[in-house]
Amino acid sequence: MQDFLEKYAFGVCTRLGEKFRIPTSNIRLLFIYGSFLTFGSPVIIYLGLAFIMNFRKLLRRRNNAIWYY
């Protein structure tokens, strides 16, 4: 279930864990506790990171596509 959610829920925590070499579960807990303590502002950060990741993925796909004229 966790793999399914992470795959289809943007993969932000996994990507941050890989980049900073921190366990993904710790990053998830950081987002959860931060959301409770700051009344949801980490959710905005999470969604912003998800948007940036998806936008970069879209740009990579566009640059790798073969264009036919």
Q: What are the residue ranges spanned by the domains of the chain?
A: 2-64
- Given this model, what pLDDT does residue 1 score? 61
Question: What pTM does this model have?
Answer: 0.67
Cα angle 61-3-17, degrees, rounded to a multiple of 5: 70
- Given this model, what pLDDT does residue 20 score? 92
What's the CA gap between 21 and 10, in Å, rounded? 18
- Given this model, what pLDDT does residue 58 score? 83
Confidence of residue 66 (pLDDT cuts 50, 70, 90): low
Q: What percent of the chain has pLDDT over 90?
A: 12
Is the pLDDT at 38 greater than 70? The verdict is: yes
Is the pLDDT at 18 greater than 80? The verdict is: yes
Q: Is 50 exposed, middle or buried (0-12, 13-18, 19+ CB in 10 A)?
A: middle
What's the CA gap between 9 and 37, in Å, rounded? 23
